[in-house]
Chains A and B, each alone.
Chain A
């Protein structure tokens, strides 16, 4: 189903990002080959200029990638209208085996670009550009990922046949197990999940508080790992617990319908808090890895405290948002 405005927009955006990535990749290859920090040849000066180009391109790439991520989910939501049996984005994404991987690659891409921009920002804070080689090696890795992204997305769109029967989200995320495919096997009890969820929030808060009082590399690593765990857990909790309270329908468990206008774009706030929180929480420890390079220790220290503070703030916002509908239900007894 390539001839559809949503498919066309996605393809167009991906091609644009791919083009930007290719130009940045060309710079990366030249930097890796010819970079000489001490020299003042013409070529070195040109390369130092090109660093600006590549970083700007990656920053644009990040922005575009975030837009395509949203566009992809919204497109899936549109596609479900023409796929028999699909009632929302979940059904549309599961209509063929490429939908979910494409979404995952896009989500991973957002984190990857984010980390790259962080490396770049740290790098340009030092006069010696100590991270140039690491940075451009990482940039070369972006290209295959972009190609994978575009291919998966194209395969997904091309593979959508408007008459394929897929499970709608009521079945996919629902309690019924058996013949239907479940995106998440819901063997866990809601209460148990919530206890683990709250426990994780408290644990992260305690670790963050500890880090702000006294910085320890080991604890920072644990904090980063904690965030990755929390990210996965949050997705499970959103699907199994939170979403049905937002929809006020016990059997509607879908992480994508949250993004729709019917639910006041609640999902954008929810994911808009969770994804940056995870990024900053995990990146504090990542930044610690390059602390030993010349001229970076001060910058890294500053960034780490900033990132931990920001991640804790976003965690508070995210927890507040995720418990809002649940508590509202418990207190007022649900939708009036």
Chain B
């Protein structure tokens, strides 16, 4: 019984394939449009996912807690003296002051990110020199050295040279020597980054002694992050305490929101496609009516014709999925999602050339299927029924 049933379904599948082939112009037009819709949705999904993966990777390098001083709702420099008030809190591994800012290069019209830190004070495992492609960290007393990211090196034409200069706020020049370059693996974080000594950064930006932009607090036990964050905000009420999990969640929400927004925009395209599919499936030509009538005369039941239509829809959606998702993967991996990158990524003049690697779990594929195949199947079921209930005599009589 079960075997007979499978054989019957296989025969119906065979018939459905041949029927699709007979109407190839119609089938291919639907297939192409459907594949395009799936391509758009899948690319969006893949970009979002690989970007949020990337963000997670990057955040692994950030300190567990970041402290910023707020005044009138805006960030301002934080006095180094605040460090003493953190001394009594157990569980803090290290507090590293940091000067962190942007430098706009008026000659090259590009924004660089500048970070001044006491690198030798950073705990093992979070050391920036671990991600250097070449060069090594100078001693704590050395001055004027920098580590640069890939784009900086290109923007400043540093192929042969090792020295360059930047302007202080009073337009005097400050010279730097490149002593290391970051590896390309951390491009999303270090591409536009210049790392230097804290004192050099203070000199470059003209920040008074005793002030920095923020503190990086390293915590030994990740389970204590929240407790320590709470203690810090009680000890220093005017300070904004950002924890790494909080930042991570915010990234997730933002990427989820952006991808949801994109999906809503694509819903319009999906709706148009569903109407097209409905329309194509409803318009029965006299030949098709004749075909169904002949099948009925030959002994086919309504359910068999419905099954044929179901297989046809399934074949079209299956092929469209394979086409669309493959195209989306190629778009994201080899073209770095050039269609959607501006929507999903933040602003920056120096864009890292990202290597996105989407990770497609079964769940993500199911999500894309739910977005596309279910509306398509639903749109074709009622027209399929209409065609399946064509009375045998009406079509043959004429």
Contact = CB atoms under 8 A, between A and B. Distances in A.
B264 A162 contact: no
Given A3-B261, A5-B45, A23-B382, A12 B371 contact: yes
Nearest to B378: A16
A81 B260 CA distance: 16
B381 A9 contact: no
A71 interface: yes
A67 B382 contact: no
Contact of B381 (A60, A78, A82, A261): A60
A52 B367 contact: no
Interface in B312-349: none
A323 interface: no
Nearest to B306: A56
A82 B249 contact: yes
Interface string B364-389: 00110111001101100110110011
B370 A9 contact: yes
Contact of B249 (A4, A52, A162): A162
Contacts of A1: 253, 256
Nearest to A9: B370
Given A8-B263, A60-B381, A52 B362 contact: no
Interface string A155-179: 0000000100000000000000000
B374 A16 contact: yes
A270 interface: no
Contacts of A10: 370
B50 interface: no
B9 interface: no
A12 B374 CA distance: 9
Interface in B98-148: none
A53 B260 contact: no
B376 to A, nearest CB: 10
Contacts of A70: 366
Contacts of B388: 52
B72 interface: no
Interface in A41-94: 49, 52-53, 56-57, 60, 64, 67-68, 70-71, 74, 77-78, 81-82, 84
B260 A3 contact: yes
Interface string A1-20: 11111111110110010011
Contacts of B267: 8, 12
Contacts of B367: 5-6, 9, 71, 74
A257 B377 CA distance: 30
A3 B256 CA distance: 8
For the complex, would chain A's binding face be called helix, strand, loop or mixed by DSSP majority?
A: helix
Interface residues of A, number: 36
B375 A12 contact: yes
A274 B249 CA distance: 35
B366 A74 contact: yes
A108 interface: no
A129 B259 CA distance: 49
A265 interface: yes
Contacts of A261: 361-363
B303 interface: yes
Contacts of A82: 249, 252-253, 256
B257 interface: yes
A6 B367 CA distance: 7
Query: Which of A4, A13, A84 has most B Cβ within 10 Å?
Result: A4
A162 B250 CA distance: 9
B378 A4 contact: no
Interface string A274-300: 000000000000000000000000000
A64 B374 contact: yes
B99 to A, nearest CB: 31
Given A5-B44, A20-B378, A68-B370, 17 more contacts: A5-B371, A8-B263, A8-B264, A10-B370, A12-B375, A13-B370, A13-B374, A16-B375, A52-B385, A56-B306, A56-B381, A56-B385, A67-B374, A70-B366, A84-B245, A84-B249, A162-B249
20 contacts: A1-B256, A3-B257, A3-B261, A5-B371, A8-B264, A12-B267, A12-B371, A12-B374, A13-B370, A20-B381, A23-B382, A52-B302, A53-B382, A53-B389, A67-B366, A67-B369, A82-B252, A82-B256, A261-B361, A261-B362
Interface of B: 44-45, 48, 245, 249, 252-253, 256-257, 259-261, 263-264, 267, 302-303, 306, 361-363, 366-367, 369-371, 374-375, 377-378, 381-382, 384-385, 388-389
A-B residue pairs, 9 tightest by C-beta: A3-B260, A49-B389, A74-B363, A53-B385, A9-B370, A4-B256, A4-B260, A16-B378, A52-B302
